[in-house]
Chains A and B, each alone.
Chain A
Amino acid sequence: MQYEAVVIGVSAGGLAALSGILKELPVDFALPVIIIQHRSREERTLLEEVMQAKCRIRIKQADEKERIERSVVYFAPADYHLLIEKDRSFSLSRDMPVNFSRPSVDVLFMAASEVYGDRLIAMILTGAGKDGAEGVRAVRQRGGLTVAQDPEDAFFPDMPRAAIETGCVQYILKPTELKNLLLNIGGK
């Protein structure tokens, strides 16, 4: 297997876009999927519960120091940045918001790119703002695979568009193509 992890950054409009992809993933999907979905500060676990109801693959919130396992979809908790340590465990931080966001896509993508290097797949889906653009640049500089949802198809095109404008996005895909890419790489 060429890849070790998938990271996804998504904001406004994300629930529909994400569930369209995640519900297709098999329970034994070969990689961990780590997601920054911007969410309300005070929401605790609703996002995970809603998503699990639609999906077969295991969905959970990333815990502090938790070891990252394949066949699990992790969401960053509300109001914490999510980082990855060299030993493939999660760290949380309450440092200042980045791009007005905590969790921030840039923070996860940068930390993930340092750990996984070219064994990482990074995706930017629908969202307002530009969180994730610098993260995509970091992933690409270390040889990871970078993908953005086609802004034409996104409920909110700004976030994928900002990522594409860095010149560091390799593939611009429709939602079905995003899903197929993941299934080809990790679906067996």
Chain B
Amino acid sequence: MGDELELKELLESIRFVYGYDFTEYAAASVKRRIDHFMITNKFNSLKTLGKTLLKEDGFFEQFIQEITVNVTEMFRDPPFYKSLRENIMGRLATYPFIKIWIAGASTGEEVYSLAIFLREKGLLERSVIYATDINQKALQTAREGIYPIRNMKAYTENYIKAGGQHSLSDYYVAKYDSVLLDRSLRQNIVFAAHNLAADRSFNEFQLISCRNVLIYFNQDLQNKVIDLFYESLCPLGILALGNKESLLFSDRKGKFEMLDRKEKIFIKTD
């Protein structure tokens, strides 16, 4: 198929010129996002898109921000947060100092969700959460901690289902059509750019959460990223994936045990 070849060439030249490597992403998803970008920006062929991208840095920046953004919400998948609260927090509490990596933090909703649960368990003050993403614009939103007020009803329902002990509104102030999350939640969060497809480990963690990011990668890249997580976890460190993700394509699968089969929470045992 001509289309397929053209897409491959475009991804190769992006890698060569800008160092962003999408060649090991799941092709159908990448293609869908690029198609969407082409429609909203009125391109009718991959060729003309490719030419414009390689000529104009500013435009390339816009392209990267649009095709790498992931949508999320606070306490997304409440059963996962419930399991985290009931099965994982107790383990974290045994450490004097807790380091957590949220890889693929996107716009930050899930980072603050974790911070809220750490606070409710009295653990936030001795924790540091490293929240990373490839997408700088999403990270900026995450840093600001300002979200549309219209989403809060759904987030509140998630929070209650996840086992939250207070009222979610204790953690934000509403103004006009936005809410600002409690600034003190942010004191122990470090937001930083990190590209899972290219960058290395940067610390050792007790918990790594990377949910619904691996689905966008092919098997080889999934394997590499799990290696990176393995190397970045302390002994008995915990790895949390999305509920449709697995260690199936990882050479390290024998070095983890299941903590929660349904919620895809693993513990590094070897």
Contacts and interface: CB of A to CB of B under 8 A. Distances in A.
Q: Do A and B come from one complex?
A: yes
B246 interface: yes
Nearest to A87: B27
Q: Give the most central of B4, B26, B242, B246: most A CB within 10 Å.
A: B26
Given A42-B78, A65-B248, A77-B244, A95 B27 contact: no
Interface stretch (B133-141, B192-200, B211-219): B211-219
Given A86-B4, A93-B215, A95-B33, A65 B249 contact: yes
B244 A83 contact: no
Nearest to B242: A94
Nearest to B219: A65
B242 to A, nearest CB: 8
A94 B28 contact: no
A84 B28 contact: yes
- Using C-beta atoms within 8 Å of the partner chain, give the interface range for chain B: 20 to 34
B32 A83 contact: yes
Interface string A133-176: 00000000000000000000000000000000000000000000
Interface string A64-92: 11000000000001011001111000011
Contacts of B215: 64, 80, 91-94
Given A83-B32, A95-B33, A111-B32, A44 B262 contact: yes
Interface in A112-148: 114
B34 to A, nearest CB: 12
B260 interface: no
A83 B245 contact: no
A4 interface: no
Interface of A: 42, 44, 63-65, 77, 79-80, 83-86, 91-96, 107, 110-111, 114
28 contacts: A63-B244, A63-B246, A64-B214, A64-B244, A65-B248, A77-B244, A79-B77, A80-B244, A83-B28, A83-B32, A85-B26, A85-B27, A85-B28, A91-B26, A91-B28, A92-B215, A93-B32, A93-B216, A94-B70, A94-B212, A94-B215, A94-B242, A95-B33, A95-B70, A96-B71, A114-B1, A114-B3, A114-B28
